[in-house]
Amino acid sequence: MLKFIKNHMVTIDGIEIYPMISLSIFFVFFTLLFFWVFKAKKEYLKKVSNLPFE
C-alpha cells in the first residue's frame, strides 16, 4: 500500500515543496507560541488557568 502511495506521489510535479512548507509553518507557530508563553503576564496566566475550576 505504501509503495503505491509513494510511487503515485513521485509522479506529481512540485510536490517536494509541501513538506518544507509544512515544516516552516510548524516551526514558526511553535517558536511564536514559545515566546508568547514567556512574555505573557503572570496574572493573565493565573486567571486563565483557574477558569476550569470556577
pLDDT tens per residue across span 30-42:
999 999 988 989 9
Q: Is 49 contained in some domain?
A: yes
CB 33 within 8 A of CB 25: no
pLDDT band at residue 1 using 50, 70 and 90 as cut-offs: low
What's residue 15's pLDDT? 80
Q: What's the pLDDT tens digit per position in 6-20?
A: 777 777 788 888 889
CB 9 within 8 A of CB 15: yes
Q: Is 6 contained in some domain?
A: no
Q: pTM for the full model?
A: 0.60
What's residue 28's pLDDT? 98
In the chain, the number of structural domains is: 1
Show the cell assigned to 29.
507557530
Range of the domain at 48: 27-54
Q: How far apart are CA 37 and CA 39, in angstroms?
A: 6
Q: Is 50 contained in some domain?
A: yes
